[in-house]
């Protein structure tokens, strides 16, 4: 579905301009992003920034599927939330160090993505969206009842622990650098995947699946691997988020969270490298400022959905890239 | 006889039949909602994510008619589908109709956004706690069937839903209008070339699908409390029902809806913890064995 926003922009894997598959414009944007990550905690509240980065990583993971394979998963909260629960539970119950806890959450989310992806890729388009949503709802009900999730209360007072057993993450500033590093690694990983030969095949599937099949690619295998990668990264984002806030709750596995990540990616720009980050920043900031308005936040989010779909399908970054005639 | 049944099923008979009835009622709602989704999908090629919100609007319009205008249940049964259907027509004309040339997923995203807006507005206005709606005087009380007490209203819901589904099937399969509709589902351009006003037909089809959801909402109002979230949780289950049944056949949708409702009811008797997830598990099994759905065309 992102074909119209990025039509004709498929670059060869080894594009002549730029470094690591980044074009010049993208390198400039990456420079701005890294500078922002370095300076922001001295001006903005670190916890807010960490929340933003967790959602930005989540949106990047989601964008890997929708933007580059054309698969709309409407159930990504299942992987985000499960990553959070597993990381939170292992950190609290076994006292293991945070990086292992996050990896454990990511691994479980990835396995879950493997099973669900294997089932869901049997259907395409709208059905794929409905199936992923239904599977995520199943995970939600499982989390309501499973003993380790703490039901309605969630898992509370999750310790942040010490990174590699030595660097305490108790202070918000230290935690921020950890989160920023995880985000940057995840962001670059998604970029690397997209610009690998494997990523080129994914885009070929997005543009014309029967043709990719006729060229000899097992498209289902490619889609499944993309789904697992996306779910795993979503699990990383969820795991880090639960460590940041010390809490893992049902909110993160609820269908509305799946809707939020769709919205973030859509606002930023489907199939753009920096879109999910910008979209996450916009939506998280909006939620922060409008928090006391209660249900109006839902109305505004719905209105943004409608406005973007009707008038603004390239998203913020997509529009900027279109105006400047560059890839971002 | 009853003792014999109890010895086979292993549970008290009233409990078994009580849950079976509850399952039938849920199945009635699944059937009506998935029917509306299938009719809309057939012609518009979009999944109407607003369907849950429109079901909820049906219940709220019934409540408003009673509390603001003093119009009771029977008026609501007639007026609520018309009113909510009219809002559906407006939504189709002003928004959905702009998306037909785009990828179908944009329709899903748009209707999801509209659903969020509607739900948010109702939550602001009425809160989340839910409002009571009384069962109409004519349908109060219960019949003693010997093996269980059957609340009259619940029997009415199942019966009325069956009649609605049958009527929809008759309209689509047996009337001239339905023939146009089926033809346009196959090839809209050709039907238009014969002089049928296809855009108007699409609009009215959407309105009719929405009206069916609102009608289900009115039926649901006295059973569940009328609250803004009543549609959203239901619609996700209905999506699973649609995937299981496949959207190819009308009777298939109805059968799948009722069947899954009954299975869910039985699960509540034998394994209560699994009752919330059983439909999703069945969906996974069906996808693994018959990806196109039980009644779907590949």
What mean pLDDT comes out for the span A310-314?
Answer: 90
Computed over every residue of chain A, the mean pLDDT equals 89
Contact A123 B243 (CB under 8 A): yes
pLDDT of residue A6: 43
The nearest alpha carbon in chain B to A296 belongs to B120
Q: Does some domain include residue A168? A: yes
Which 3 state secondary structure label does DSSP give B94? helix
Buried b (16+ CB within 10 A) or exposed e, B87-124: bbbebbbebbeebeeebbbbbbbbbbbbbbbbbbbbbe
Report how far apart, in Å, the C-alpha atoms of B236 and of each of B27, B49, B76, B129 are: 14, 9, 26, 21
CA B9 – CA B20 distance, rounded (Å): 13
The count of residues in chain B is: 298
C-beta atoms of B112 and A259 within 8 A: yes
Of A122, A305, A310, the CB nearest to B112: A305
Question: Mind listing the pLDDT tens digit for each residue in A105-159?
Answer: 999 999 999 999 999 998 888 889 989 999 999 999 999 988 888 888 889 888 8
Residue B297 has a pLDDT of: 66
CB contact under 8 A, B239 and A135: no
Test mutation, B47, B50, B114, B120, chain A, max A CBs within 10 A: B120
With a cut of 50, say whether residue A15 has pLDDT above it: no
Give me the total of CB pairs closer than 8 Å, taking one residue from chain A and one from chain B: 129
CB contact under 8 A, B276 and A134: no
**A124 neighbourhood in chain B, CB within 8 Å:** none
Nearest chain B Cα distance for residue A213, angstroms:
18
Q: What is the pLDDT along chain B (298 residues), one digit of tens a residue?
A: 667 777 777 777 778 888 888 899 999 999 999 999 988 988 888 889 999 999 999 999 999 999 999 888 999 999 999 999 999 999 999 999 999 888 888 999 999 999 999 999 999 888 888 888 888 888 888 887 777 788 889 989 999 999 999 999 999 889 998 899 888 888 888 998 998 888 999 999 999 999 999 999 999 999 988 999 899 889 999 999 988 988 777 888 889 999 999 999 999 888 888 888 899 999 999 988 888 888 876 5
Contact B87, B69 (CB under 8 A): no
Shortest distance, CA A72 to any CA of chain B (angstroms): 8
Q: Is the pLDDT of residue A12 over 80?
A: no
pLDDT tens string A236-263: 999 999 999 999 999 999 999 999 999 9
Give the minimum alpha-carbon distance from B148 to chain A in angstroms, rounded to a whole number. 31
Q: DSSP 3-state assignment of B149?
A: strand
User: CA of B75 to nearest chain A CA: how many angstroms apart?
Assistant: 30
The residue among B51, B232, B238, B243 with the most chain A CBs within 10 A of its CB, best to mutate, is B243
Q: B206 vs chain A: nearest CA distance in angstroms?
A: 18
| Per-residue pLDDT band at A187 (split at 50, 70, 90) | very high
Chain A residues within an 8 Å CB radius of B91: none
B113 in contact with A, Cβ within 8 Å: yes
Cβ burial, residue A176 (10 Å; 0-12/13-18/19+): buried
Rounded to whole angstroms, the Cα distance separating B246 from B253 reads: 7
3-state helix, strand, coil split of chain B in percent (to 5) is: 75, 5, 20
How many independent structural domains does chain A possess?
1
- Cβ <8 Å between A131 and B283: yes
Closest partner residue to A126 among B108, B110, B291, by Cβ? B108
Q: Shortest CB distance from B239 goes to which of A134, A145, A306?
A: A134
pLDDT at A14 over 50: no
> Residue A41 maps to which CATH number?
1.10.3470
Q: What is the CATH number of domain B10-126+135-289?
A: 1.10.3470
Closest by Cα among B247, B249, B251, B280 to B263: B280
Q: How far does A163 lie from chain B, in Å, by closest CA?
A: 38
A126/B47 Cβ within 8 A: yes
- Residue B297 has a CB neighbour count (10 Å cut-off) of 9
Instruction: Report pLDDT digits (tens) over A68-114.
Output: 998 999 999 999 999 999 999 999 999 899 999 999 999 999 999 99
Sort A122 into a burial class: Cβ within 10 Å, 0-12 / 13-18 / 19+.
Answer: middle
The residue ranges of every structural domain in chain B are 10-126+135-289
- With respect to residue A128, please indicate whether it lies within any of the assigned structural domains: yes
Identify all chain B residues contacting A312, using CB atoms and an 8 Å cutoff.
none
Strand partners, B131: B226
DSSP state at residue B294: S
Query: How far apart are the C-alpha atoms of A116 and A132, rounded to whole Å?
Result: 7
In the stretch 211-250 of chain B, residues with CB closer than 8 A to chain A read 232, 236-237, 239-240, 242-243
Cβ of A306 within 8 Å of Cβ of B239? The answer is no
Q: What does the pLDDT read at residue B1?
A: 61
The answer to whether the CB atoms of B120 and A305 lie below 8 A apart is: no
Q: Return the residue of B nearest to A3 by Cα.
A: B103
CB contact under 8 A, B109 and A309: yes
Which has the closest alpha carbon to A151: A161, A142, A139? A142
Its ipTM equals: 0.88
B142 in contact with A at a CB cutoff of 8 Å?
A: no
Contact A317, A275 (CB under 8 A): yes
B276 touches chain A (CB under 8 A): yes
Helix (H) or strand (E) holding B143: strand B142-144
A44 — alpha (psi -120 to 50), left (phi > 0) or beta? beta
Contact B119 A310 (CB under 8 A): no
Pairing label, strands A167-168, A162-163:
antiparallel
Looking at beta carbons, which residues of chain B come within 8 Å of A270?
none
C-beta atoms of B47 and A129 within 8 A: yes
The model's confidence at residue A9, banded by pLDDT at 50, 70 and 90, is: very low
Residues from chain A contacting residue B119 (CB–CB below 8 Å): 298, 302
Q: Decide: A72 and A64 in contact? Cβ < 8 Å.
A: no
Distances from the Cα of B176 to the Cα of A314, B116, B163, B181, angstroms: 43, 37, 20, 9
Q: Which domain holds residue A177?
A: 21-324
């Amino acid at each position: 579905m992102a074909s119209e926003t990025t039509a004709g922009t498929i670059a060869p894997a080894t594009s002549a301009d730029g470094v690591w598959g980044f074009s010049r414009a993208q390198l400039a944007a990456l420079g701005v992003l890294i500078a922002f990550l370095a300076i922001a905690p001295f001006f903005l509240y670190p916890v807010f920034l960490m929340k933003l980065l967790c959602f930005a990583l989540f949106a990047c993971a989601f964008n890997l599927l929708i933007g580059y394979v054309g698969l709309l998963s409407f159930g990504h909260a299942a992987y985000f939330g499960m990553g959070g629960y597993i990381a939170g539970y292992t950190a609290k119950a076994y006292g293991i160090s945070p990086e292992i806890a996050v990896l454990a959450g990511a691994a479980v989310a990835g396995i879950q993505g493997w099973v669900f992806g294997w089932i869901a890729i049997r259907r395409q388009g709208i059905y794929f969206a409905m199936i992923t949503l239904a599977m995520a709802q199943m995970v939600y009900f499982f989390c309501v009842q499973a003993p380790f999730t703490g039901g309605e209360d969630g898992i509370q007072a999750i310790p942040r622990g010490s990174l590699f057993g030595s660097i305490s993450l108790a202070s918000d500033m230290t935690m921020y650098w950890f989160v920023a590093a995880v985000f940057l690694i995840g962001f670059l990983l998604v970029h690397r995947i997209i610009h690998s030969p494997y990523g080129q095949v994914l885009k070929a599937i997005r543009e014309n699946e029967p043709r990719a099949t006729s060229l000899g690619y097992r498209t289902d295998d490619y889609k499944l691997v993309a789904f697992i990668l996306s779910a795993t990264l979503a699990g990383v984002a969820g795991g880090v988020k639960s460590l940041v806030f010390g809490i893992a709750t049902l909110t993160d596995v609820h269908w509305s969270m799946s809707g939020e990540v769709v919205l973030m990616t859509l606002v930023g720009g489907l199939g753009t490298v920096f879109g999910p980050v910008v979209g996450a920043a916009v939506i998280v900031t909006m939620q922060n400022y409008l928090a006391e308005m209660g249900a109006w936040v839902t109305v505004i989010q719905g209105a943004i959905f409608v406005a973007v779909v009707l008038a603004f399908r390239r998203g913020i970054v997509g529009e900027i890239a279109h105006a400047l005639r560059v890839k971002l | 006889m009853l003792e014999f049944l109890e010895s086979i099923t292993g549970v008290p008979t009233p409990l078994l039949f009580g849950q079976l009835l509850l399952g039938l009622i849920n199945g009635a709602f699944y059937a009506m909602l998935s029917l509306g989704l299938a009719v809309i999908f057939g012609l518009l090629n979009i999944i109407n994510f607003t369907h849950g919100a429109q079901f909820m609007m049906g219940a709220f319009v019934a409540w408003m008619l009673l509390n603001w205008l003093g119009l009771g249940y029977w008026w609501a049964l007639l007026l609520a589908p018309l009113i909510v259907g009219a809002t559906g027509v407006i939504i189709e004309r002003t928004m959905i109709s702009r998306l037909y040339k785009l990828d179908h997923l944009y329709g899903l995203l748009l209707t999801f956004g509209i659903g969020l807006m509607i739900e948010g507005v109702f939550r602001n206005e009425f809160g989340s706690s839910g409002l009571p709606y009384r069962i109409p005087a004519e349908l109060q009380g219960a019949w003693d069937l010997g093996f269980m007490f059957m609340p009259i209203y619940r029997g009415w819901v199942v019966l009325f839903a069956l009649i609605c589904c049958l009527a929809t099937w008759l309209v689509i399969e047996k009337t001239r209008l339905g023939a146009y509709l089926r033809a346009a589902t196959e090839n809209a351009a050709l039907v238009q070339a014969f002089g049928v006003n296809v855009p108007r037909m699409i609009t009215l089809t959407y309105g009719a699908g929405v009206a069916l959801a609102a009608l289900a909402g009115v039926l649901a109002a006295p059973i569940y409390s009328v609250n803004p979230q009543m549609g959203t949780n239901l619609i996700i289950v209905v999506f699973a029902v649609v995937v299981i049944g496949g959207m190819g056949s009308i009777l298939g949708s109805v059968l799948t809806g009722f069947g899954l409702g009954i299975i869910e009811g039985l699960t509540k008797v034998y394994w209560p913890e699994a009752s919330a997830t059983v439909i999703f598990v069945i969906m996974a099994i069906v996808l693994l064995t018959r990806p196109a759905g039980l009644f779907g065309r590949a």
